[in-house]
Amino acid sequence: MDSALIPNGVKRCSMGKFLLWNSIIGLVLLWGVFALLLCWIKGLNQTNMNNAYGFALWIWADLAVIALGGGAFFTGFLRYIVGKEELKNIINYAVLIGFICYSAAQLILGIDIGQPLRGWFIFWHANIHSMLTEVAFCLSCYFIVLCIEYIPLILENRQTDKVPFFHNLTHNMHEVMAIFAATGAFLSFFHQGSLGGVSGVLFGRPFGFREHIFGTIWPYTFFLFTWSAAACGPCFTILVTKITEKIAGKKLVKDNVIDLLAKISGWMILTYIIAKTADTLYWAFVTAPSTGFILAKFYTENPGSVYGYWILFLEIVICGFVPALFLIVKKWRRTPVLLWTAIILAVIGVSLNRWVLVLQVLAVPVMPFTDWNIYFPSWQEIATTILPVAYGILLIMISYRYLPIFPQEAELNPIEPEPEPEQEAKPEGKAEEIKTKAGEPELKPAEA
Amino acid sequence: MEQVKDKKFGMVIDLDKCTGCGSCMVACMSENNVPFREDETDKLLSVAWMRVYKMTNRKPYPDTEVCYFPRPCMHCEGQHSGHSPCVSVCPAVATDYSTATGIVSQIYTRCFGCRYCMAACPYHARVFNWFDPVWPHGMEKSLSPDVSVRMRGVVEKCSFCYHRYQKAMEKAYVDGRKELEENEYQTSCTQACPAGAITFGDLNNTHHEVYKIAQPDHKHHGKSKNPKVFRLLERLGTNPKVYYLSSRKWVRQLGDNYRPDEIMK
């Protein structure tokens, strides 16, 4: 039915199967939209946030998807600025994943603010000293860059590509894409960093506060966030690619491309986690004690040990050093199970880091006579957080079906000519019989 | 009309006098049109500008001692003028620090409800309007016309009854004066406290009672020279303008966090 829209040389599932899966994911999306409308119409009392937990699941989701979407800017940086040619075979998908992550982040922010219709105040009445202002500006600008990077991909659809204007536009956009990749890397450096600064500047919250470089400009979390997004973002790109390959049942990207990205990611994670360890040690033994806090105060005596030392161990060792080593050692990263383990751990690690620097910051009691604040999200919060995931899956399904996202797909999965239907249908011997019948006209493939 | 000298309005709360009666909270809610709900069991959803905490010395009976701890907004100045935890992070300048009065303001119509200021404030002085403000039938007639009611989805906090300052300044202008007398501008909680535990005034004015008790050392970010006076979480560098007075050491010690190896100075 839609074969004219499907890229040349590749095979896709039937329209019925495609629509069925779209409908299932669409239902999840509608559930999220329902929760979103509840939050907009009835207000944020639909959440389990409170005056102690002003930031919660949504802000974590925002920070996490932006970190995971970091694969787009860093892969673009490697491909266009550093000149890693092999990565041209995964850059499309990295851009699509980045586009999904950043649009999801903006959607979540639109739900999270108490007065959504005033959201534009952040641009109009901008406080240049606020990390959130920097986040808003850079994030919006980078989203525009992602749109610019995604547009040529859309225009490469078989039908739109037939239009000379679109064809030439796509060609010319590809020619200048290095400029956008550089702009994207520049903007991402700042908004990823600013997100790190969100908790790092909170000098009233000793768990989140970090020393500042150059005196008062940027806390160290600024650089750690940028570094971790560049390190773990590509792992998420690889993970989604691998999941897509599993679902599609075929290889979409050659091993050497994955291998290169994984290797770079491994070194990035290793250097990041060393810096993160140094930051943690300095914070634990110098910064926090200067305000009367010892490490045990942050990690003990909380209900159910929700925030125990295990978080530190999990984030730094299990989801930091372990995936770094798995990805750096050639033999290990070329072992599928270890590659899968490493990319999953890296994704969990960066997400956990964002969780800790949003929720644990608020959970730790600061006034000596107050207790830990423990929070569990409401179903409306969970549904609205799943909403962008469903939206992302839908966009991937549609893009994969109709756009040439994976340049190596056709080469990796050559379509063999279909056997003659008669031969397939008839048992051996019968086919021979048919062929020998004289005078009967042969069926044309289309008619058959 | 502008005043001649910059002010630093602040208060001293005598914790030895506070009985925990809650009059300050009631007066504050009434004065500032603070909304409430039928079910106020979850205090973390309550809108309260002034909140009274209960502290104990954590000793078993009969050595147990209790202290009630009123906590308004601290109107922090930070380490340099106006760098309070909340003002510095608000992305839309919906909260601001006045160098003329030392008061941290909140512009309700500009706040878009991101709640970053709440995350920044270690005192939980900032609260969010999770619900639409609804008053029992007829009670809306008793609302103060001097204070705007807030809408759902914005943050609010204690303003040191700033409208009273505005009114006092207007009166002074009519009288041809540029300065206020000490008793001309007092917050509602100060006036409502039956024990007289709260003293309010200008921390820059050596004649004001609040200055005499707090004895702020402005060269050291307002740190008190009075050994019995302390500020809440002073070591975080927030530089609050609310001081606490207590003769009890355990109370003063609960005003900040100390490492086990530390001896409170």
Instruction: Note the ipTM here.
Output: 0.92
**Surface of A (89-118) touching B: CB under 8 A:** 112-116, 118
CB contact under 8 A, B122 and A294: no
Which of B71, B157, B236 best probes binding to A when mutated, by most A CB atoms within 10 angstroms?
B236
Residue with tokens 């603070």: B34
Residues of A in contact with B260 (CB under 8 A): 294
Residue B237 CA to residue A203 CA, distance in Å, equals 7
Measure the CA–CA gap between A130 and B104, rounded to whole angstroms. Answer: 16
Question: Residue A420 above 80 pLDDT?
Answer: no
Q: Please name the residues between 306 and 345 in chain A that touch chain B, using a CB distance below 8 Å.
A: none
Would you tell me how many other CB atoms lie within 10 Å of the CB of residue A371? 12
Q: How far is A206 from chain B (nearest CA, A)?
A: 8
Q: What is the pLDDT of residues A272-301, one digit of tens each?
A: 999 999 999 999 999 999 999 999 999 998
Yes or no, beta carbons of A43 and B153 under 8 Å apart: yes
Q: Is residue A321 part of a domain?
A: yes
Q: B62 preceded by cis ω (within 30°)? A: yes
Q: Which residues have C-beta within 8 Å of that of residue A3, sequence separation ≥ 6?
A: none
* Residues in chain A closer than 8 A to B89 (CB atoms): 129-132, 201-202
Cβ within 8 Å, pair B91-A130? yes
CB B25 within 8 A of CB B39: no
Listed by number, the residues of chain B in 240-259 with a beta carbon closer than 8 Å to a beta carbon of chain A are 254-259
Nearest to B116 among A43, A132, A289 (CB): A132
Give me the pLDDT at residue A365, please: 94
Please report the domains of chain B, with CATH numbers, ordered by start residue. 9-253 (3.30.70.20)
Asked whether residue A249 is assigned to any structural domain, the reply reads yes
Residues of B in contact with A367 (CB under 8 A): 53, 122-124, 232-233
Is the CB of A51 less than 8 angstroms away from the CB of B259? no
- Contact in structure between A41 and B115 (CB atoms under 8 Å): no
Residue A156 pLDDT greater than 70, yes or no? yes
Q: Is residue A428 part of a domain?
A: no
Q: Name the residue facing A115 among B85, B113, B259 (closest C-beta).
A: B113
- Specify if A359 maps to a domain: yes
Tell me the C-alpha distance between A82 and A268, whole Å.
15
Peptide bond into A234 cis (omega under 30): no
Lowest mean pLDDT among A57-61, A142-146, B81-85: B81-85
How far does the CA of residue A314 sit from the closest CA of chain B (Å)?
25
B218 vs A335 pLDDT, higher one: A335
- Alpha-carbon distance A297 to nearest alpha carbon in chain B (angstroms): 9
Question: How far from the centroid of its chain's Cα atoms is residue A407's Cα?
Answer: 21
Tell if the CB–CB gap between A202 and B119 is shorter than 8 Å. yes
Q: Is residue A404 part of a domain?
A: yes
Q: Which residues, numbered 5 to 44 in chain A, qualify as contacts with chain B under a Cβ-Cβ cut-off of 8 Å?
A: 43-44
**Distance of alpha carbon A327 from alpha carbon A317, whole angstroms:** 14
Contact B68/A at CB under 8 A: no
Nearest to B128 among A114, A122, A291 (CB): A114
Nearest CB neighbour to A369, from listed B131, B236, B254: B254
Nearest CA distance, B245 vs chain A (angstrom): 17
pLDDT at residue number A432:
43
| pLDDT of A399 | 96
User: For A228-254, what is the mean pLDDT?
Assistant: 95
Residue A33: CATH number of its domain? 1.20.1630.10
* List of chain A residues whose C-beta atoms are within 8 Å of the C-beta of residue B155: 114
For residues A142-149, average pLDDT? 92
Determine the Cα–Cα distance for residues A409 and B216; give it in Å rounded to an integer: 73
* Res. A431: pLDDT tops 80: no
Identify the sign of the CA torsion A118, A123, A124, A130: positive
Q: Which two tokens stand for residue B46?
A: 């309550």
Distance CA A69, CA A133 (A): 20
Give the phi and the psi of residue B94 in degrees, each rounded to 5. Answer: -85, -5
Taking CB atoms and an 8 Å limit, are A45 and B232 in contact across chains? no
Mutate to test the interface with B, among A203, A205, A370 (most CBs of B within 10 A): A203
Residue of B108, B234, B257, B262 to mutate, interface with A, max A Cβ within 10 Å: B257
Is residue A442 a part of any domain in this protein?
Answer: no
Q: pLDDT band at A8, cuts 50/70/90?
A: confident
* pLDDT category of residue A422 using cuts at 50, 70 and 90: low
A–B interface: beta-carbon pairs under 8 A: 164
Residue A3 near chain B (CB below 8 Å): no
Distance of alpha carbon B86 from alpha carbon B126, whole angstroms: 9
Predicted TM-score of the model (pTM): 0.91
Which among A51, A122, A124 is the nearest to B124, CB-wise?
A51
- The answer to whether the CB of B230 falls within 8 A of the CB of B253 is no
Q: Is residue A316 part of a domain?
A: yes
- The number of distinct structural domains making up chain A is 1
Put simply, the answer to whether A367 touches B259 (Cβ < 8 Å) is no
Range of the domain at A282: 15-412
Task: Give tens-digit pLDDT for A349-359.
Answer: 999 999 999 99
Q: What is the pLDDT of residue A438?
A: 41
pLDDT in the model for residue B265: 53
pLDDT, residue B3, reads: 61
**Domain assignment present for A295:** yes
Residue A426: pLDDT over 90: no
Whether A127 has its CB under 8 Å from any CB of chain B: the answer is yes
Q: What is the pLDDT along chain B (265 residues), one digit of tens a residue?
A: 556 678 999 999 999 999 999 999 999 999 999 999 999 999 999 999 999 999 999 899 999 999 999 999 999 999 887 899 999 999 999 999 999 999 999 999 999 999 999 999 999 999 999 999 999 999 989 999 999 999 999 999 999 999 999 999 999 999 999 899 999 999 999 999 999 999 999 999 999 999 999 999 988 999 999 999 999 999 999 999 999 999 999 999 999 999 888 865 5
